[in-house]
Structure 1
Amino acid sequence: MRAGLTALLLAAILTIAMPGTAEPTARILSFGDLRGWADDDHGEALDVFLNTCPDLADSEWQSLCALAQSQTNARAFFELFFRPVLIGGEATALFTGYFEPELDGSRQRTARFRYPLYRLPPEVDGLWFTRAEIEERGLLEGRGLEIAWVDDPVDVFFLQIQGSGRINLAEGGYLRVGYGGRNGHEYRSVGQEMVRRGIYQPHQVSAQVIRSWVDRNPIEGADLLRHNPSYVFFREVQIRNTEDGPLGAMNRSITAHRTIAVDPDFTPLGAPVWIEKGGEDPIRRLMIAQDTGSAIRGAQRADIFYGSGDAAGRQAGRIRDPGRMVVLLPIELAHRLVPDV
């Protein structure tokens, strides 16, 4: 983790202060304020925390990570050494879902597998060409940047949104790809663009609906996808245990239903985060912030990792729910952040 975490969090909180109101932008809660806290499996959350806490550089986190190695009562550990901090005032959180796609592909271009996954070009450093410019001008073609080829351009688009995936190779075996960089442009939602164009109403839009519409309307669909100027590049990743999840932003495998992607300007990577998600499938659970995403911005914004494959994708694609997220911070850090408590 980056040095000077307290200063970074404080600066981020100041940017969301609301002039003219007494509403605090960061507030320490009690564990009794967390709805459903007592019913969670805190031991499961602790195991996931332990997967990435050794990589946290700040001294407060290092000390707690060392203590966590020998804990037998996970709930007591979190309650003794952390404080729940609500960042962002009473703004309603937005929860979405993501997953690790499984695609069919090949190391070689064939008649079926002709849509490439590219690694980062060496000259890309900061703002580069948009998605439309890259595709329409063929800026990546013939440069030997291809990692693999897949059979559906929509799969490439959604793989870029998810950030990682597993490619089942026609030659046998598989490879995993992870986030390798981006062109510097901010993500724009194609779902929102479909609503703006009058194609669907907001409640009708999902990943499956977008995919189906683009498949039925290939020309208009290509134009729709290019509404998002962000373009993500990949790298091939090696994961020792094939049953482990993909690598997250901390370069460690992430865990279905316990990992969330967050905005690291507000939520420290590696921190436990209590979520209270509404919707048809409510969730009250202690998650670990182990990933990021180009569309995940703000203090009350999180993407829930649902696992790998089509079933996880269908589940993740339905999620767009309100709620609340509360970051668990080491006691000293929490009181430095909210000094008047």
Structure 2
Amino acid sequence: MNIPYKQWCRSLSLALPLATLLAGCNGGNNEKPHTHAVATYANASWDALPAVSDNDLLAGFASWRSACERLKADANWAPTCSAAAGVTQTPQAIRGFLQEHLDVYGLRSANGTPNGLITGYYEPVYPGSLVKTSEHNIPVYGVPEDLIVVALDSVYPELKGKRLRGRIEGRTLKPYDVAGVINAQGVKAPVLAWLTDPMDLQFLQIQGSGRIQLEGGRQLRIGYADQNGHPYRPIGRWLVEQGELKKEDVTMGSIDAWAKAHPTRIPELLASNPSYVFFSTRPDSNEGPRGSLNVPLTAGYSVAVDRKVVPLGSLLWLSTTTPDGSALVRPVAAQDTGGAITGEVRADLFWGTGDAAGKLAGDMKQQGQIWMLWPKGVALPQVPQVADAQ
């Protein structure tokens, strides 16, 4: 597959985009925030939302409602979720429910524009084994025994969500090993499986979850468990800096081709990214992988978002295009997060499992607009300056 490398920013990884926004669709919404305030949310009417098909409405609502069991303890969403349990699965009933219980807010970037970047991700499948062999010799590690994680907000509440990772040496917490050291020397951690290609492991870490195809037909599902505490640095950037690839030519395919042509330099390539992801096994099922909200993702209707802007569990209205230029307008559920997914108007659409989904995800680099549907009478998250639509 010739997949743009920046699109391999799995939502659970710490990948950073390599490209800027492309010219794209206009969702048909003309509301503008007042210029006297930089608003994250702009009040909008239901009439401002672009039309969606009945099938997309049903699927998007079902995806959002699937997380209500997780949201029952969330004061913002619990009453709405409780009411949603009794809604019949008909377009008319769903539209009536949404308009009765939710208000519409257009997301805005810092400079006031409604347009942002919509990318894609997926769940890859790689060949592997539960035992080490001459062919299967690349370990997929679980969480190391000596990895220490400190939740900084336990001492400093203003650092909510921030964690410090390392290992204890004597009485001192030292940074954990970087990826190059782990790749070369190993780590004190359980081995969940063995892969055949070090590049498969790198791409699996970037995506943050995936399946390992075992002999006999079984697939082992794994997902992000933790990380070594070092920042992610795209290996594609290193290839550009080395003069091996041009920035515009950096794709998963071109990186993989370079690695196959330069096998002795693969350790050097991988060491350029200090970040290392550890995994845990997940139950075998036909469900999608679980995102940050710990509910199965729905192909085409779950997105990763910047949780500083959009709280997990929120229902969004997405207007963008597919890679071939076709309109893509539908409600989607905010059920995942990722280091690459930052900004007021930003979403990463989950496309599903396998190569076909990977092709769609890899080519997805579109401009789009997002509206957040928020419970009536509930204060907006972070309470930014809110502008009235004109």
Q: TM-score, normalised by structure 1?
A: 0.84
Could you say which residue in structure 2 is the equivalent of 1:7? Answer: none
Residue 39 (structure 1) shift: 6.4
| Residue in 2 that maps onto 1:53 | 68
Which amino acid is the alignment partner of residue 53 of structure 1?
Answer: C
Residue 318 (str. 1) matches residue 363 (str. 2): yes
Q: Is the 8 A contact 2:140 2:279 kept in 1?
A: yes
| Shift, 1:311, TM fit | 1.5
Query: What SS is found at the alignment partner of 1:332?
Result: coil
Matched, 1:74 2:94: yes
User: Does 2:146 correspond to 1:123?
Assistant: yes
Provide the rounded CA distance (Å) in 2 between the counterparts of 1:105 and 1:238.
Answer: 17
1:91 Cα shift? 5.9
Q: Could you give the per-residue CA deviations for residues 272-314 of structure 1, whole angstroms, max 9, x where no partner exists?
A: 1222224534422211111122322222222111111111112
**Where does 1:123-202 land on structure 2 (aligned, <5 Å)?**
123-124=146-147, 125=149, 126-127=164-165, 128-136=176-184, 138-140=185-187, 143-170=188-215, 173-202=218-247
The residue number in structure 1 matching 2:296 is 253
Closer/same/farther in 2, CA of residues 273 and 207 from structure 1, 3 Å limit: farther
Letter in 1 for 2:81: C
User: What residue number does 2:118 align with?
Assistant: 95
Q: Distance in 2 between matches of 1:172 and 1:335?
A: 48
Amino acid at match of 2:96: A
Paired AA for residue 369 in structure 2: R
The residue number in structure 1 matching 2:78 is: 62
User: Which residue identity lines up with residue 68 of structure 1 in the other structure?
Assistant: A
Q: Secondary structure at the match of 2:76?
A: helix
Partner of 2:337: 292
Q: Report how far residue 122 of structure 1 moved.
A: 3.0
Paired residue for 2:324? 280
How many Å apart are 1:135 and its aligned residue?
A: 2.1
Amino acid at match of 2:122: F
Q: Distance in 2 between matches of 1:200 and 1:187?
A: 20
> Which of structure 1's runs of 4+ aligned residues deviate more than 6 A?
none
Aligned to 1:4: none
1:129-152 CA-to-partner distances (Å, cap 9, x unmatched) read: 32223224x141xx3520000111
Deviation at 1:23, TM superposition (A): 3.4
Map of 1:84 onto structure 2:
104
Letter in 2 for 1:260: V
Question: In the aligned structure 1, how far is the partner of 2:225 from the partner of 2:210?
Answer: 12
**Would the aligned equivalents of 1:214 and 1:222 in 2 still touch at CA under 8 Å?**
no
Partner of residue 267 from structure 1, selected from 310, 329, 352: 310
Post-superposition offset of 1:103 = 1.5
Partner of 1:10: none
- CA shift digits 1:200-255 (9 cap, x unpaired): 4444333233222222222444433333222111001114xx32111221222111
Secondary structure, in 3 states, of the residue corresponding to 1:333?
coil
Find the aligned partners of 2:368 and 2:70 in 1 and give their Cα distance.
29
Letter of the aligned partner of 2:317 in structure 1? W
- 1:82-116 Cα distance to aligned partner (Å, 9 max, x none): 22221433264222211111111111100111001
My pick for the range that moved more, 191-200 or 90-99, is 191-200
Write out aligned runs for 1:187-266 (5 A): 187-239=232-284, 242-266=285-309
Q: Could you say which structure has the higher helix fraction?
A: 1
Are 1:333 and 2:378 counterparts?
Answer: yes
1:109 to 132, 146, 170: 132
Taking the aligned partners of 1:52 and 1:25, their CA distance within structure 2 comes to 25
* 1:208 alignment partner, SS class: helix
Q: Please state how far the C-alpha of 1:67 moved relative to its aligned partner.
A: 0.9
Give 2:7's aligned residue. none
How many angstroms apart in 2 are the aligned matches of 1:308 and 1:258?
A: 14
What SS class does the counterpart of residue 77 from structure 2 fall into?
A: helix
Structure 2: state its 5+ residue gaps.
1-34, 150-163, 166-175
**TM-superposed deviation, 1:325:** 2.1
Cα pair distance change 1:67/1:230, threshold 3 Å: same
Question: What is the letter of the counterpart of residue 224 of structure 2?
Answer: Y
The 1:139/1:21 distance shift into structure 2, 3 A limit, reads farther
Any idea what SS the aligned residue of 2:257 has? helix
Number of residue pairs matched by the alignment: 317
Amino acid at match of 1:99: Y
Q: Which amino acid aligns with 2:136?
A: F
1:148-194, Cα deviation, whole Å (9 max, x unpaired): 00111111111111111111212652321111111122322333444
Distance 1:332 1:80 in 2: 12
| Percent identical | 35
Residue 30 (structure 1) aligned with residue 45 (structure 2): yes
Partner of 2:21: none
TM-score of the pair, normalised by structure 2: 0.74
Tell me which moved more, 29-38 or 310-319. 29-38
Q: Please tell me the residue identity of whatever aligns with 1:280.
A: D
- Residue 352 of structure 2 corresponds to which residue in structure 1? 307
CA contact (8 A) 2:52 2:330 kept: yes
